[in-house]
Chains A and B, each alone.
Chain A
């Protein structure tokens, strides 16, 4: 078959050493994302040391993290509901990669934690701590470890990590 498979492969050095013409650009945009009604309240409550969900009035499902509408019934969500500081590890990973794909000397443990009092399986992503790698398990019960109150700023990082209970 006379197909032409084309393309001109380059090495990283071809570019670094200027063997081919290139142009560079560094975008400098700064963003400010509005948290919105539900996540705004979620962040405020985090600063106070509480996890909060929000209820769908049609069938009493408690969303976590809270949101302003129910994606199933398509109605405006109802009351905010304070939840417990405890939950369950739905899944996890032991990561040697940082956000820029650089290698970490010591891995971070990250998981999805579903929160007690919210609908089954509704959780968020967070770190796992005060635990040995060999003891990590899907289904393990965990509890939030908070930053000291004066260091909290209304962010998911107001919780340091979740530890086994």
Chain B
């Protein structure tokens, strides 16, 4: 029956998901919202600081209760430029996204860089720019973007 119209049935899988940020995530986002700072959790056993913070060390499995402020200065480790949005529609202006690593932290954050494509390079120093206090809701989008230092 190749080439013939085939009988099909159309539908969707409708749902709205509400994810809790969790024990570690809740404090992480609260610190961003209330104190404009990035906090990680430290594992004394393995001498590792996790960013984003985790409740446990994935290597030794101890529970992590020590929180450390991460300096608001990082380095671009990887870059991509998006020309289409998440629906595949062409963007009016390309969007530069970077994976930024922070000194002393294991992990990193991915976000938009507020610069034209040609001005962003691996190794450049950037810092986190937050939304104004009243607009912050305790989510990752409380971070507006990275900007060059």
Q: Which of B22-30, B68-76, B113-121 contacts A (4 or more CB under 8 A)?
A: B22-30
Which of A31, A43, A154: most chain B CB closer than 10 A? Answer: A31
Cα(A158)–Cα(B66), bound, Å: 64
Does the CB pair A32–B138 fall under 8 Å? Answer: no
Q: A15-B18, A30-B10, A40-B6 are in contact. List 6 more A-B contacts (CB 8 A).
A: A20-B26, A21-B25, A22-B21, A23-B139, A34-B8, A155-B9
A16 to chain B, nearest CB (A): 9
Given the interface contacts A31-B10, A31-B13, A40-B6, does A18 sit within 8 Å of B18 by beta carbon? Answer: no
Please tell me if B89 contacts chain A, counting CB pairs below 8 Å.
Answer: no
16 contacts between A and B (CB under 8 A): A15-B20, A20-B20, A20-B21, A21-B30, A22-B20, A24-B16, A26-B16, A30-B12, A31-B10, A31-B11, A32-B10, A34-B8, A35-B8, A35-B9, A37-B1, A43-B7
Please tell me if A165 contacts chain B, counting CB pairs below 8 Å.
Answer: no
Does the CB pair B9–A32 fall under 8 Å? Answer: yes
Cα(A31)–Cα(B138), bound, Å: 34
B23 to chain A, nearest CB (A): 7
Q: How large is the interface on B (under 10, 10 to 19, 20 to 34, 35 or more residues)?
A: 20 to 34
Does the CB pair B17–A25 fall under 8 Å? Answer: yes
Given the interface contacts A35-B8, A154-B7, does A26 sit within 8 Å of B138 by beta carbon? Answer: no
Count contacts between A and B, CB distance < 8 Å: 72
Is chain A's binding surface mostly helix, strand, loop or mixed?
mixed
Partner-A contacts on B (CB < 8 A): 1, 6-13, 15-21, 23, 25-26, 28-30, 137-140
A67 to chain B, nearest CB (A): 15
